[in-house]
Amino acid sequence: MIGTTWLGYFENNARPDCAPSSSLQAEVAEPLRAPLAVSLGRFQLGESAGGRIHEEMPTHPDRALDAPMRRAVQLYIEEEWRHARELALVIQALGGQLQNAHWTNGAFTACRRILGLRTKMMTLAIAEVIGIVYYRALAVGVGSPALAVSLRRIADEEGRHLDFQAAFFEHAISLRARWLRAPYRGLLQVLMFAILAAALAVLWLDHGRILRQAGASARGLASASWRQLAGRRFLRPALPAPAARSLGSRFPAVAP
C-alpha cells in the first residue's frame, strides 16, 4: 500500500525541466555570481547521483521493497536527476561552468555504499535535509526573485522526498519482529545523527562563505535541519493524538 501511494505521487509529479527566469543574472550582484555558481555546482553533482540505486531496484532483495516501492524509488532518483538538470540551467544562467567531480560528492558516494541499501537511503535522506536548508537559505538571502523561485521549487520537492524516506523507514521498521523494532529504530537513529553531523560540518566547511553572505549561520542551519526531521517525526514512532498535540509547540510542523 505504501509503495502504491508513493508511486502515484511520483507519477503525478512528473513535469518538464524548469529553466530560471532570464532576469537571474542581472538580479545577482556580479561579485556573487562566480562563488554562487561554484557552490551550486557542488550540489548539482550530488543531485546527479543515485545511479546504482536506480539500477539495483528491480532485483534488490530488501524486504521493504515490493514492486510499486521499487518503481517509486526509481522515480524518486529520477526527480533528483531533474533537480540536477535544473541546477545546471541556473549555473549556466549565472555564467558558471558545470563540475565533473568534487571530494564531497565522492565522500557521500562512499558513505552510501558502506552497508547496503538502507545506508544508501539514509544518506540520501540526510542529503535531502541539507539540500532543503541550503536552497532555502540562498532563496531568502541572495536577493534574486528568479533564483528564489528555482531553488524553492527544488526545496519543496526535496521536502516530499524526505516524507517518502520517512515512510520507507517506518515501513522497514514495521517488518521487524515487534521486540526488535525499538532497537532497530535506535540503530537507525544513531546512523541518522552521525550522517547528519558529518553532512552539516561539510556544508559549513564547503559552502560557509556563500551561506554567510546570504545571512545564514551554522547554528541556524543546524536548527533548520533538525526541524526538517522533527517536523516529520523522522524515525520516531507516531504518537497518540493528545501526545502529538502536546509536542506541537516544541516541534512545529514542516511544510512539505
Give CA–CA dist 52/238, Å, rounded.
32
97-154 pLDDT, tens digit each: 988 755 565 555 565 556 678 888 999 999 999 999 999 999 999 999 999 999 999 9
- Mean predicted confidence (pLDDT) in 217-221: 96
Q: pLDDT category, 82, cuts 50, 70, 90?
A: very high
Confidence (pTM): 0.88
80: cell is 533528483
Secondary structure in 3-state letters for 42-106 = HHHHHHCCCHHHHHHCCCCCCCCCCHHHHHHHHHHHHHHHHHHHHHHHHHHHCCCCCCCCCHHHH
Homologous superfamily of 33-236 in CATH? Ferritin, core subunit, four-helix bundle (1.20.1260.10)
Q: Which residue has the higher pLDDT, 113 or 50?
A: 50
Angle between helices 178-213 and 30-47 (to 10 degrees): 160
pLDDT at 240: 47
Where is average pLDDT lowest: 2-16, 91-105, 192-206, 207-221?
Answer: 91-105
pLDDT at 142: 97
Query: Mean pLDDT score of the chain, rounded to an integer?
Result: 88
Let me know: does 145 contact 26? Beta carbons within 8 Å.
no
Vertex 15 angle, CA 13 and 21, to 5°:
125
At 2 the pLDDT is 83
Average pLDDT over residues 26-42: 96
Q: Which of 127, 249, 133 is nearest to 192 (CA)?
A: 127
> Taking a C-beta distance cutoff of 8 angstroms, is the pair 229, 253 a contact?
no
Q: Which three cell numbers stand for residue 66?
A: 515490493
Q: Return the closest-CA partner of residue 150 out of 21, 48, 42.
A: 21
Q: Say what the pLDDT of residue 255 is.
A: 38
Q: What is the DSSP letter of 153?
A: H
Ranking 22-36, 86-100, 114-128 by mean pLDDT, the lowest is 114-128
The total of other beta-carbon atoms located within 10 Å of residue 231's CB is 16
Cβ atoms of 59 and 189 closer than 8 Å: no
Residue 33 pLDDT more than 50?
A: yes
Domain ranges of the chain: 33-236
Whether the Cβ atoms of residue 70 and residue 77 lie closer than 8 Å to each other: no
pLDDT of 236 reads 83
Rounded-to-integer distance, Cα 248 and Cα 256, Å: 16
241 has a pLDDT exceeding 70: no
